[in-house]
């Protein structure tokens, strides 16, 4: 089962990632240094995150999963540093 998941951290920032192998315990590979800067030493002592499946498929190709991942990163704005920890695709500030 291929999945796209959303990780929510205690500060409500999110990370969206994919798992092409169906590994239940996989939590992605966000930049840990980036995440660490958002939490104090005390907060790091008791840390709970939530993993939600946003999309899954038994038939999708890896290419289709990659496309869906980008679609969901953009939809949830997890590439916006104020919202999440995805750094790709690069967030573009839009003028109002």
The alpha-carbon radius of gyration of the chain (Å, integer) is 14
CA-based nearest residue to 23, from 6, 1, 7, 52: 1
Range in 9-13, 25-29, 30-34, 50-54 with the lowest mean pLDDT: 25-29
Q: Across residues 20-44, what is the average pLDDT?
A: 91
Q: Across residues 5-31, what is the average pLDDT?
A: 92
Token pair of 54 as six digits: 């946003």
Q: Regarding beta strands 50-57 and 2-8, do their DSSP bridges make them parallel or antiparallel, or are they unpaired?
A: antiparallel
Q: What percent of the chain has pLDDT over 90?
A: 84
- Using one digit for the tens of pLDDT, what is the confidence trace for 44-77? 999 999 999 999 999 999 999 999 999 999 999 9
């Amino acid at each position: 089962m291929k999945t796209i998941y959303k990780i929510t951290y205690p500060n409500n920032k999110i990370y969206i990632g994919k798992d092409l192998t169906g590994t239940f315990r996989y939590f992605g590979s966000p930049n840990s240094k980036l995440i660490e800067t958002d939490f104090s030493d005390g907060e790091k002592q008791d840390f709970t995150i939530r993993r939600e499946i946003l999309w899954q498929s038994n038939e999708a190709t890896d290419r289709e999963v990659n496309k869906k991942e980008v679609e969901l990163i953009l939809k949830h704005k997890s590439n916006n540093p104020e919202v999440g920890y995805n750094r790709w695709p690069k967030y573009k500030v839009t003028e109002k």
